[in-house]
Amino acid sequence: MALSTIVAAPGLSRSEHRRAVRLGPRATNSTRPIDTLVEAARFDAVEVTDVTSSFLETARAWHTEFAQHESELRDIIGPTWDERQKERGEIIQAIEKGLLLRLLVSGTARI
Amino acid sequence: MGSSKDEQRTRADFSQRYATERTTALEDIERRVIGAAWAANGFTTVRQANRLGEIVELAPGKHLLDIGTGQGWPGLYLAKRTGCRATLTDMPLEGLAAGLRRGQRERLDVTGAVVASAKALPFAPESFDAIIHTDVLC
């Protein structure tokens, strides 16, 4: 199994964690390390790679591209345009402030 | 099994997103941001998708389950790249329908698409050789 996941950074204060959960994608609210969760799900040889720098680069790219093409896309996207662009900006802020991480995780099913 | 309110909200939100017309402009943006146009709207780049495929050793004859696939990214892309068979699963039906259409157009080996919550997948143990999911557990 291989997966990517977005998590609240470890060591955040309670208010920072709440902010990470609010600014991150839905369900960014686990407080358990991902490797612990994957091992508990009966996977061995768990490896975790931090890809947060790529996460930030990609998040910025989405935000910039949609901003640059707003005139073409606003009508296509519809009434959720403003909300979705705001969410893109909030995720960028959260990553820049060290509140959110993105991880690639792999594991082998325990037989 | 009933879905939680959060799952219901997420499903409604993404159903609306997947109903949005796929235009050339959107596809061009996707290519510039993640490296390909496979109806992705998250943070997994082509490079990362390739890495996921390498980790689970996808190859012809292997059967991949892509959980939370949306419209088929990255499962369909990996099926094309590696020759593996893919089964797609997620909650919004609109996304899965779009994924199946793309799989047919690309002549990929797609077993099917299953509407299911990642919390209660309807597959027997050891049904798949590899499982991937991108930004689903977050």
CB neighbours of residue A71 within 10 Å: 7
Q: Which residues of B touch A55 (CB under 8 A)?
A: 43
Assess whether the previous peptide bond of B92 is cis (omega < 30° from 0). no
CB neighbours of residue B36 within 10 Å: 18
pTM for the model: 0.90
Residue spans of the domains in chain B: they are 5-133
Q: How far is A109 from chain B (nearest CA, A)?
A: 10
Record: contact B10-A65, CB cut-off 8 A: no
Number of structural domains found in chain A: 1
Record: contact A106-B130, CB cut-off 8 A: no
Mean pLDDT of B108-118: 94
Which of these CATH numbers, 3.30.413.10, 3.40.605.10, 3.40.50.150, 1.20.210.10, describes B5-133? 3.40.50.150
pLDDT of residue A75: 86
Answer whether A51 touches B (CB < 8 Å).
yes
Q: By residue range, what is the domain housing residue A72? A: 2-109
Parallel, antiparallel, or unpaired for β B63-67 and A100-109?
unpaired
pLDDT of residue A26: 66
CB pairs under 8 A between A and B: 89
Q: How far is A3 from chain B (nearest CA, A)?
A: 5
Model ipTM value:
0.90
Residue of B nearest to A6 (CA): B138
Q: How far is A15 from chain B (nearest CA, A)?
A: 19
Q: Could you tell me the CATH number of the domain that includes residue A46?
A: 3.40.50.150
- Tokens 């899965």 correspond to B96
- Tokens 């902010």 correspond to A19
pLDDT of residue A28: 59
When pLDDT is cut at 50, 70 and 90, the band that residue B1 belongs to is: very low
